[in-house]
Structure 1
Amino acid sequence: MQYVDVASRLLLLTMFTLALASKISSRRAWGEFVESTRAMAVVGEAQVPAAAVAAAAAEGAVIVLAAVPLRWAGSAAFIIAAGLLGCLAVAVAMVVRRGKSVTCRCFGASQTPLGVSHVVRNVLLVVIALLGLAGSLVNGSVDPLLAMIVGVFGAVLGLLVSRWDDLVSLLVAP
């Protein structure tokens, strides 16, 4: 189970690093993220800036905690990630259910409107975070070479998750 912990940490660390970097890389990027949060209309107008900051802070917390090679830090990262991703899955599902067209700003500029595939992605990531949490709670020894291999695997999956819209467009006929 320790290898599930390692792979899940690296997947979430990679994915959240790319997501956060795309949001805070410039004033314009941040403004577009806040505007997409506003367009989702899942929180009141007055709460939009705070919701955007809270989402970015939670992503930052996951990044920092996932990078700390201590069991408690990984467990905390997985709990925060599962909570954040669960909230995002519900928020995106609400947007999709209303039939509202809001572009996905999860990983920066995108023209892809939020859809069912984004709900699926977030639910899968919640499952990964919960599997990682389970892995972080189990004692056992780790082979450093195997841990490195599964860590690279997790990081590559994190990169693929960050390109979710592109992957879905390749698999779904227009």
Structure 2
Amino acid sequence: MIYLLLTSQFVTAGVFAMSAYGKLREQQAFVLSLAGFHVPPRVRVPVAAAVTAAEVAVVPLALVPATAVAGLALGAVLLFGFAAVIGLTLRRGSRPRCRCFGAVGAPLRGAHVARNLVLAAVATAGAILAAAQAAPPTIGAFVVTGVLAAALLAAVAGFDDLVEVVAPRAG
């Protein structure tokens, strides 16, 4: 179970570190992208700031054993929320670009909802495991889960490209 816990901590913290970094690096572009999600102009800056701050908070909270439950739970809530917002946006017929990691991404599609639901499940499982974890991890567990998490994070970072290869958009 320690392997699952550490992997969920590393993946959740890594996803939010990449996401927060991208948003901080391209804050104005992120604020502007909120128009595609029907966020009213007067609240775009506070919404962008709140989302970015919550993402930044997940990183240390998820990694520190004493706060791992809170960090992983916050990460799960954010990811479930992102999945819901993306789903509603798609249902309205809108397909803004995914600025999930700050860069100009691909137009939103159902795969983004699925990605966030899978990541939310990882964070949720981690929160449950962190609540029950008593034994400290070994160095070997850190190494194995670090390598696994790095591979998973590489897949998440290249998600739009991977989806385009597997299921290209029509037209």
Q: Which residue is 1:34 aligned to? A: 31
Q: Identity across aligned pairs (percent)?
A: 30
| 1:63-83 CA-partner distances (Å, limit 9, x unpaired) | 121232x2x311111111011
**Residues 1-174 of structure 1 mapped to structure 2, 5 A cutoff:** 1-25=1-25, 29-41=26-38, 43-68=39-64, 70=65, 72-141=66-135, 142-174=137-169
Q: 2:58 is matched by which residue type in structure 1?
A: V
Q: Say which is worse superposed, 140-149 or 113-122, in terms of deviation.
A: 140-149
Report deviation, 1:111: 4.3
Query: Does the 8 Å contact 1:20/1:59 carry over to 2?
Result: yes
Partners of 2:34 and 2:72 lie apart in 1 by: 23
Partners of 2:33 and 2:74 lie apart in 1 by: 22
Q: How many residues align?
A: 168
Q: Under a length normalisation based on structure 2, what TM-score does the superposition of the two structures give? A: 0.91
| 1:110-146 CA-partner distances (Å, limit 9, x unpaired) | 2411110110011111100111111101234333212
Partners of 1:139 and 1:9 lie apart in 2 by: 13
Report deviation, 1:152: 2.2
Query: Does the 8 Å contact 1:59/1:81 carry over to 2?
Result: yes
Flag the structure with more relative contact order, 1 or 2, with Cα contacts below 8 A and sequence separation at least 6: 1
Structure 1: segments with no counterpart, 5+ residues: none
The root-mean-square deviation of aligned C-alpha atoms, in Å, is 1.5
Q: Which runs of 4+ in 1 moved over 3 A?
A: none
- Give SS of 2:94's match: coil
